[in-house]
Structure 1
Amino acid sequence: MTHSDAILDRLMSLHPKVIDLSLDRMHRLLAALGNPERRIPSVIHLAGTNGKGSTQAMIRAGLQAGGARVHAYTSPHLARFHERIRVAGDLIAEADLAATLEECEVANAGQPITFFEITTAAAFLAFSRTPADYTLLEVGLGGRLDATNVIDAPRLTVITSVSIDHTQYLGDTLPLIAGEKAGIIKRGVPVIVGPQDDDALRVIEARASGLTAPVLAHGQHWMIAPDRGGMVYQDDHGLWDLPRPNLIGPHQIQNAGTALAALRQLGATELQARAAVTQAEWPARMQRLKRGPLVELAGPQAELWLDGGHNPAGGEALAATLDTLPQRPTHLVCGMLNTKDIAGYLRPLATRAASLTAIDIPGEPNTLPADTTAGVAGSVGMVAATAPDTGTAIAGIVSRDPRARILICGSLYLAGRVLRENG
């Protein structure tokens, strides 16, 4: 266990709930730390249900291609906590992470605060101490009361597509959820709006109008469309003829459009736009695993893929992605959290998958039991079984079909476990 791991374990116990949406504790701690959030470079604040991470990764690739130094904050992490905090382009160093976490722990003085809040404060502290040109800040949950929403005057806000998720915290209708996401919009600050259902767009536009924030919305102010082997981005400034995103799946074209609209607003060149869509790195989003013990277990003829999508919109995006791949029987290995709409996620995949093997997410207290996942899969028409772990599931599939396409899916927490297990 590293020094930072030990501190992170202690910070888990400072609040009885994992999620408790409020900004009071955050403001208290940041004041005790000397308000580092006021000293971080130009902020681009991103919210949305799906696509935040991919969009952020593309904006980062574009800015860095123009020579900018970029801080980035994202969650959750997959294999190591350090992935959440990129300081001027690099994952935070262990010594710096441990030092900033300890400083936050001392300043907090044992008062109630959630793990996400105190670690977000640590990210602000780290960002305030290293020069950079931009800070990419991804919302953890919602927007209005999210711990990241303490930046008074960001350079830009971005809202990717909004759909139904986290209903126990954000409300059970699209307008309610969109209202929470739109909470990041600030007075007079331009907001880039990705593809939205009309109900969500109306709420976002109303919030922006009340704050005189210029809106740059998909379909109105900018367009993106596949074109021959590539894609075309167009707005009032002109047209960019670009390759398809290196991140796999039709939905990544829409995410690319959102990223390109943000980059255009920041004055990016076509060269930067090209880098944004060809050089972005974002693991566990339809990622092909090429080496490691799980790949060896699958054997030379099988394909092993990993995707962390976990809500109905994520299931639809995954189904559409599978439709674009060369035909081959696809077998799912699926583990999910008990807070998710399981049937909604699996329904679009039911006609694309030859089978589903359900597993528990190891070490995750909120895992959905494998039996339950398999039961729901059966109810939406899938051939379903269970296995005690990922390795057993893979071995079972290749014993029946050595040429299988195996897709491990259903949760970012499971994806992180798989990436660690696979080295």
Structure 2
Amino acid sequence: MIPWLAKSGLYGYADAGGKLVIPPQYTHAMPFRGEFAVMAQEGGFGVINAEGAPVVGPEHPFIHLTFPRPFSLAFIKKEYNAWWRLPRWKVLPGLNLLGTRRGGRLLETKVPRARWEVLALPGMEKLQQFYSADERSTRNGQMPEGVRLLTSGEHLLLRQELYNAGGERCSGGIFGQLTDGTFLQYRKGWYRRVNQAGNPLDAVRYYKKDHLLFGGKTIPQQEAPYQRIAAPVFQSTNGEVFLFPDFSKPFPPSIEPYPQVGEVQYVALIGALQDTEHFFVLATTGKSEERRLLVLNKNGQWNKLVEPRPGFDLMLRNGALLFSQGNTKGVMDAGLEFHLFPLQYPEALSETLYAGKDNRSGKYGVFDIMEQDWKITPAYSYIGPCLAPGIVPYCADNLYGLLELDTGRHITPPLYDSIGKNGEVAQKNQRFYIDIYTGLEYRD
């Protein structure tokens, strides 16, 4: 069900067709996630079920609901002042050095903190409790940074803990998930691979390293202010070295000289190419001072079919490598093919479609790197990332609407000050929801 905004300013809930199911009575409402939704009344935030019955009372400063199938989790926040943390007190917090005026109290003893409880719904079992600084982002209704949450089959990884579908803890100390779906677990100075239930897969131990041996040279993990290795490095008791999270592709122990140039002089960055057996190396070679991206096979031989290319910027979310500096701009895909595009500020919408700003017109469109042509002609002041498969927001005349990628059809005209991923829109100081597939507005 979707929040419905009444003329009174209160929210209820309607079905997908717009029929009101739960009468307007809430000062704030979020869409249902599975069988539950977060709402707010005068006392604070709470959780209701599909019948509108309260599951968690509306008395909390913030609740975040997630639905990683088959789990429903409520992150419930409690705010407090940890005044006893004396080193965090501030003297003259509002001192203006230029005007020599004090805008604050002489001694500020507020130390904002937050305690978070994670409950599994509908049984309200408490899975975890943790503390964090009550930063501005969490006071504005956001989750604290660094909270890992993902599901793998019938198991849940929450922060460093693994749980089964019944909410029972299987294992702890999880560093992260590997590309094959298994997990890396920390064990007092070493690591091991475990399955979804937390059981070890073998007797191999892994140790975290702070460097790679690259052609006889030591490349450190961190050299301020630049990170020179793009992922954590681990070495097994078998002597193999891996870049997390792919433990199926060992980093080569020895590397051949670069063809026709000889020695690699300086390595700026090393990383793994997603979904391939290759690594990328951003380096200077020979007498050149220009950094070029080179492709290295897992056997330590250079891929001579890939031209050394300058202008590397970053790896995009779809795994493609972006080259945005210099004269030739484009992306290298997982097949090591380079595709040009005539745009700036690219946003990967799929493996082949990119939204961006046309170099000639200065307008935003959608470019197909395989067809080397605009799929959606540049005509907008902005096109953002997908809100749902095949649906993107666009901006015209400082207002936002929704656009269908396949056809270029406008699902909505530009009517809104903003559009969120869950369909929440802002319009003239009102916040309500729309169906991002049809544009239907859920309000009186």
Short-chain TM bin: under 0.3
Structure number with higher helix proportion: 1
Q: Which protein is bigger by CA-based radius of gyration?
A: 2
